[in-house]
Structure 1
Amino acid sequence: MKRLHSFILKSFLGPLTFTFFICMFVLLMQFLWRYIDEFVGKGLEWTVIAEFLFYVSATLVPMALPLAILLASIMTFGTMGENYELTAMKAAGISLQRIMKPLTILIILISLGAFYFSNNVMPIASLKTTNLLYDIKKQNPELILKEGIFTNDLPKFSVKVGNINKDNGMMYDLLIYDHRENRGNTNVTVADSGTMVTSADKLTMNLTLYSGNIYKDIKTKNRKKNKNHPSQRIKYKIFKQNISLPGTDLKRGNEDRFKNSYRMLNLGQLVGTEDSLTNKLIKEKESLSKNLITRHYFQKEPKRILKDTLQAHLVTEQTLDADSLFNSMSSPNKQITINSALNKGRKARENISRKNGELEGQIKWIRKFTNEWHRKFTLPFACFIFFFIGAPLGAIIRKGGLGMPVIISVLFFIAYYIISMTAERFSKELVLTPFWGMWLSSIIILPLGIILTYKATTDSSVFNIENYIDFFKKINPLKFLKKKNA
């Protein structure tokens, strides 16, 4: 039996490793295609790109691992079914459950590892990825000049070039706006031709211009009041200037700036942050309630009106209540009271509407932390479920390789992913509770795994098309009508 277990494990680990890296590659290419504009023209070193890809790959494990397990299990059992190895094992008295036993233990270990990865490694990888992507977005791009188009890639300069000689790098009809003084277009340089050469350390740009003019506005104290201010024109044959460049080295920011985001926390941190945010929300609700009671719902009358009303009640010795106080007022005072109450009511409604939007935003933000807490458990559970879908499914269809298993795996995973994303969105929009939002896809897929395992154990021909054709032939309505007429 140990030799059989070793054979089954070797048959599964090969496809699992292969499909896992294939899934990672596909998901990584999709991610790069999404953010390709952030990398083009930044002059990033290969070490920075490799570091970014490493962190991104770690964040893609939750999607790649369940799909790889599903695909590998279908391929493994499909190949064994196609080669009649499953048939030989069953003929020897070994049930499908015993055949799946070593792989079930392996999947349990992988699920536990996935939980550890999701709780301890994923937050760090997400933090590193977010920080590095933010720094890359802020990185200034390399200077790329295009003919007839203003380029703002050079810091504090706007450059337009008419024509560029690609053989010697000479540029013609240059127009340069210098914005280093932050006073608008007050320094303009025009040149018939010129060159721009970057230094070896890429820290300065050596600018050489030929036959042109420099137009400057002279800064004066009363420039805003006096529209007629002096200007300066400098004519030159050769003009040279060194312009400082920011350099191509990536400037790293503080890594703690995103550490409180819900994707960067483990289970304990998520619970602590969620509790603090919930307590803050409760205090804001209590503050809103007190504010409405003291400032809008119960409002003191003006002293003059209140004094006259109390004196009238003291003379008549009536019981003080709201209706009697209001009825004892004169008509002008009643109108003033009604208008005041309406204004207070409108202000209260506006305050409630505005505050309700703020509180709803806070509730949605707290909901993200709750969803992320559940996500730590959905990844290992998805690995477990997909194995019990793929293994019996492969035993039923009895097809190995990358043909039919890939199609079936992708269809199952797309259905699972669509249900998962839709339910999670409903949870974020407060339509579903966090439990149902994060576990609905697993709850729907779980019965399918149980049914397929049962069908594979009983050797049911689920995917035999002839059985379905025979079934529909039995319920042929034309045949039923003929019997009725007879």
Structure 2
Amino acid sequence: MKILDRYILKTFLVPFIATFLIVLFVLVMQVLWQTFENIAGKGISLPFILKFLYYSTLIITPQALPIGVLLSSIMALGTLGENYEFAAAKSAGISLQRLVRPLVYLTLILSGINFLFLNNIYPYAVLKQKNLYLNIKKKQPALALVAGSFNSDLPGFQIKFDEKFDEEGKNGKEVSLLKKVLIYDLTAGKGNQKVITAERGKIISEEGSRYMTFILYDGYYYQEHVKTAKTNLQRKKMAASNATFKEYEFNIDMSSVTGDGDLSKTDHTKNFMMLSLNQLGDTIPDLKASYDEALLLKSKNLYATVVAKDLYKYPDSLKSENIDIDVLENFDLKSKINILNSATTKTERTLSSIKNNQTSIKYKRKNLNFFDTEYYNRISFSLSCLILFFIGAPLGSIIRKGGFGLPMILAIAIYVTYFFSNTFGKNLAEESTITSFLGSWVSAFIMVPIGIILTRRATKDKGIFNMDAITQPIINFFQKIFSKKEA
């Protein structure tokens, strides 16, 4: 390796290692901020908390790597320009392409490492982290309850509350304080027959206990007694009870969801993020076949519902010459009424069938899109290091500014654009607005032309924007006008 190549690589690697570690630390701290509050102090041992953070670090690494490449390429090339080393290299006959050639090879290696991470380590880390978090929530079921939406994790109950505050109770018990509680009691198996509301309440749970205790304060409950009622008329005659209370306490048996408390179990393995490219490639055809089969079955049912097979063409020899163009006018009044009633009934039945099937079909399609989009995104995102390098390197040589100031701002702006376009494309693909391939590559389609333009301008030693090309015609125009007036 030549001295120049070693020097260029050193100029790039020093800020790359620093920026990569900083970005990785910031992203891990973001995950820690979101989840550590829920798992800390809940009777979960420190080794399992460290495992959770370790898996989070592995998941975030493929995201931090492109940011590190982008920021370090701007800083490295900016430092070379700021110290007039570009000018010295050009005076010695060394082009920009020759200077960045070792960095291109290094970026290709980093892209390969990123692909290996996304294809092998990332699915493994997601598998372990998701199962660990689910097992922690089973160990402490109160963790699974989320404020602001209905929670159905408790067997036989649906619960909603506005706010939740966790605190350490006595004798190792965990206490969660709730505000504005709404509970549907479904234990009878006959729908929402019992509704409980309360201004505040608390959940008391203890490790090793099969029961979770609810204590509600200042509330109201309403219950319909329909156990013996078999018809709607009988149900209407059955009495309902309601009352207000200052304090109401009941227990929920959690043995069916808590399991044996083994935090290392990996029961959940079918998420699309937990599969490698080969596994995704094997799974997608099965999902497509299942989706196509569901569509075929629904279409056959719809065909049978509208009795489309009864519609057929008459031979020309059987056609009457006196048939009216308005089809209904060929029938008497009674037949018209029967035809219209039959058409209305079949239309309503068909619309109802379509509406009922719409949710299941949409779910199957979206589930297929998740796997399809993940497959293409693994490939496209692994090239993000290379794409962002060809934006950062020419940008650094143009701005000629090193350090963490301006390069950091530019790097954040560029990556936010890249990441937003990638997320936006994935969301559109998951909703079947665009194809999965296009949704996964839309960010590349946006950023690659920008990289080509910046590379060409940096090679020709031009700025980002040629303001003279815009301002000079305007100046010339006004100069001609004033010169004519003076004449």
Fold agreement, TM-score > 0.5: yes
Instruction: Give the SS at the match of 1:263.
Output: helix
Q: 1:19 matched to which residue of 2?
A: 19
Aligned 1:9-408 pairs, distance under 5 A: 9-140=9-140, 251-252=262-263, 254-257=265-268, 259-298=269-308, 332=334, 335-408=337-410
1:472 aligns with 2:482: no
| Alpha-carbon offset, residue 332 of structure 1 | 4.9
Aligned length in residues: 389
Contact 1:126 1:264 in 2 (8 A): yes
Deviation at 1:69, TM superposition (A): 0.1
Matched position secondary structure for 1:255 = coil
For 1:482, the aligned partner's letter is: F
8 Å contact kept, 2:42–2:174: no
1:223-250 CA distance string (max 9 Å, x none): xx9xxxxxxxxxxxxxxxxxxxxx9x96
The C-alpha deviation readout for 1:319-349, integer Å capped at 9, x for no partner, is 99xx99x999986566445423421221012
TM-aligned CA deviation for residue 485 of structure 1: 3.4
C-alpha contact (below 8 Å) 1:15/1:75 kept by paired residues: yes
- Cα deviation digits, residues 406-450 of structure 1 (max 9, x gap): 111111111111222222211112212112211111111111111
Whole-angstrom distance in 1 between the partners of 2:11 and 2:481: 54
- Pick aligned residue for 2:411 from 409, 412, 427: 409
CA contact (8 A) 1:41 1:141 kept: no
Which deviations, in whole Å up to 9, do the C-alpha atoms of 1:149-193 show, x marking residues without a partner?
Answer: 9989789x99999xxxxxxxxxxxxxxxxxxxx9x9xxxxxxxxx
Which of 444, 464, 480 is the equivalent residue of 2:446? Answer: 444
- Answer yes or no: is the 8 Å Cα contact 2:398–2:464 preserved in 1: yes
Superposed displacement of residue 53, structure 1: 0.7
Q: Is the 8 A contact 1:70 1:409 kept in 2?
A: yes
CA distance in 1, matches of 2:86, 2:309: 83
Q: Distance in 2 between matches of 1:438 and 1:263?
A: 15
- Structure 2 SS opposite 1:256: coil
Q: Deviations over 1:66-94 (max 9, x none)?
A: 11000111111111222222222222211
Taking the aligned partners of 1:159 and 1:83, their CA distance within structure 2 comes to 61
CA contact (8 A) 1:70 1:386 kept: yes
Residue in structure 1 matched with residue 422 of structure 2 by the alignment: 420
Work out whether residues 71 and 409 of structure 1, in 8 Å CA contact, stay in contact via their aligned partners in 2: yes
Given the superposition, is the C-alpha separation of residues 400 and 329 from structure 1 closer, same or farther in structure 2, using an over 3 Å criterion? Answer: closer
The alignment partner of 2:383 has SS state of helix
Structure 1 residues 298, 81: CA separation in 2 closer, same or farther (over 3 Å shift)?
closer
Contact persistence 1:44–1:250 (CA under 8 A): no
What SS does the corresponding residue of 2:296 show, helix, strand or coil?
A: helix
Q: Distance in 1 between matches of 2:81 and 2:176?
A: 68
Letter in 1 for 2:418: Y
Task: Establish whether residue 458 from structure 1 lines up as the match of residue 431 from structure 2.
Answer: no
The one-letter code matched in structure 1 to 2:138 is K
Separation of aligned partners in 2, 1:159 and 1:382:
46
TM superposition shift of 1:136: 2.5
Contact 2:167/2:174 (CA < 8 Å) preserved in 1?
yes
Assess if the C-alpha contact under 8 Å between 1:270 and 1:373 holds in 2.
yes
Distance 1:330-1:431 versus aligned 2 partners, 3 A rule:
closer
Is the 2:138–2:261 Cα contact (8 Å) retained in structure 1?
Answer: no
Amino acid at match of 2:362: E
Calculate the aligned-residue CA RMSD, in Å: 4.3
Contact 1:119 1:376 in 2 (8 A): yes
Q: Does the Cα contact within 8 Å between 1:389 and 1:448 map onto a contact in 2?
A: yes
Gaps in structure 2 of 5+ consecutive residues: 143-164, 178-187, 189-193, 195-205, 210-237, 239-257, 311-317
Q: Secondary structure at the match of 1:35?
A: helix
Match of residue 431 from structure 2: 429
2-structure distance, mates of 1:151, 1:92: 69
Segment drifting more, 419-428 vs 133-142: 133-142
Higher gyration radius (CA): 1
In structure 2, do the counterparts of structure 1 residues 150 and 396 end up closer, same or farther at CA, with 3 Å as the change threshold?
closer
Aligned to 2:152: none
Matched-pair contact (CA < 8 Å) for 1:66–1:382: yes
Change (3 A) 1:346 1:394: same
TM-aligned CA deviation for residue 360 of structure 1: 2.2
User: Structure 1 unaligned runs (5+)?
Assistant: 143-148, 162-181, 185-197, 205-224, 226-246, 301-317
Letter in 1 for 2:136: I
Q: How big is the shift at 1:481?
A: 4.4
CA–CA separation in structure 2 for the residues paired with 1:158 and 1:367: 40
Q: In structure 2, what is the Cα distance between the partners aligned to 1:158 and 1:444?
A: 50
Structure 1 CA distance for aligned equivalents of residues 470 and 350 of structure 2 = 67
Identity %: 35
1:63 CA displacement: 1.7
Once residues 99 and 426 of structure 1 are traced to their aligned partners in structure 2, the CA distance between those partners, rounded to angstroms, is 40
TM-score, normalised with respect to structure 2: 0.69
1:373 is matched by which residue type in structure 2? Y
Indicate how the Cα distance of structure 1 residues 448 and 334 shifts in structure 2: closer, same or farther if over 3 A, else same. closer
Change (3 A) 1:11 1:150: closer
